Amino acid sequence: MSHIIIENLSKEYRVDSQTIAAVSGASAVIERGRFVSIVGHSGSGKTTLLSLVGGMVLPTAGRVLFNSTDIYQWDSDRLSEYRCEKVGFMFQSASLLPILTAKENLLLPVAFRSASLQDGSDERRAEDLLRSVGLGDKINSYPSQLSGGQQRRVAIARAFMNRPELILADEPTGDLDEDTEEEMMQFFLRMNSEHKTTFLIVTHNTDLASRASVRFRMDNGKLQAL
């Protein structure tokens, strides 16, 4: 069964009297457990496409099917559940809450989950994920006590907190040094291999993109297979 089907997907914006086609007729079939990369120039529509697949932006036309169901036919509660429980997001900025520790930032998505666990397993998972991204000694540190690269790693770990089926990542290694970038890439590949997590990654990094099992390019809103 196909995990994600993007079918003739379009998104237009009105800017003054002009219509901007951010995504234009994009179609793709992504099997469960695939590692997918999307490359393209800034402004080509990559981030908008991720937002559409993640249920964050309403399309002008077309459909996004998740496990054979059109996500935009769901009501707002069901769509919120999809975003919280099925999808892990990595944005271009770390977007950490400054008043929360690294662990508490990871626990934040759990607060919005429909079924909360009270046995301490969420806290253990948060700590394990932080150790997995090399921050075992920063579990109780606040964002102001972390470097930019460390904050990025917290954000990467947070995306996996609810064991999502799908990871949507927008330039996930953009502000990491070369060595840390390679560590995070190995982490992504391990999560993909061990848990069959589907990855859809937007990146300017040609090395990262080349390791994907499925590759696309976006150009002026159009999605093309490579």
Q: Which amino acid is at 64?
A: V
Q: Is the pTM of this model over 0.75?
A: yes
Residues 187/132, Cβ–Cβ less than 8 Å: yes
For the chain, which residues score pLDDT lower than 70? 1-2, 112-119
Please tell me the predicted confidence (pLDDT) of residue 26: 96
174: tokens are 């953009």
Number of CB atoms found within 10 A of residue 35's CB? 21
Which of 28, 29, 30, 25 has the alpha carbon at shortest distance from 9? Answer: 25
Length of the chain: 226
CB atoms within 10 A of CB 62: 19
Is residue 185 within 8 Å of 179, Cβ to Cβ?
Answer: no
113: how many CB neighbours lie within 10 A of its CB?
14
Q: What is the DSSP letter of 149?
A: H
SS3 164: coil
Domain boundaries, the chain: 33-55+79-225
Look at residue 213 in the predicted model and tell me its pLDDT. Answer: 93
Q: What is the three-class DSSP state of 45?
A: coil
* Predicted pLDDT of residue 92: 86
Query: Could you tell me if 97 and 105 are in contact, meaning their C-beta atoms sit under 8 angstroms apart?
Result: yes
pLDDT given at position 175:
79
For strands 35-39 and 61-66, give the pairing. Answer: unpaired
Contacts of residue 209, Cβ cutoff 8 Å, sequence gap at least 6: 37, 38, 39, 201, 203, 215
Using CA atoms, how far residue 226 sits from 14, 29, 169, 207, in Å, is 30, 14, 19, 15
Domain 33-55+79-225 carries which CATH code?
A: 3.40.50.300
- Cα distance between residue 73 and residue 70, in whole Å: 6
Report phi then psi at 115, rounded to 5: -120, 115
Q: Which two tokens stand for residue 4?
A: 């994600």
Using one digit for the tens of pLDDT, what is the confidence trace for 87-111?
999 988 888 999 999 999 999 888 7
Nearest to 130 by CA among 111, 99, 104: 104
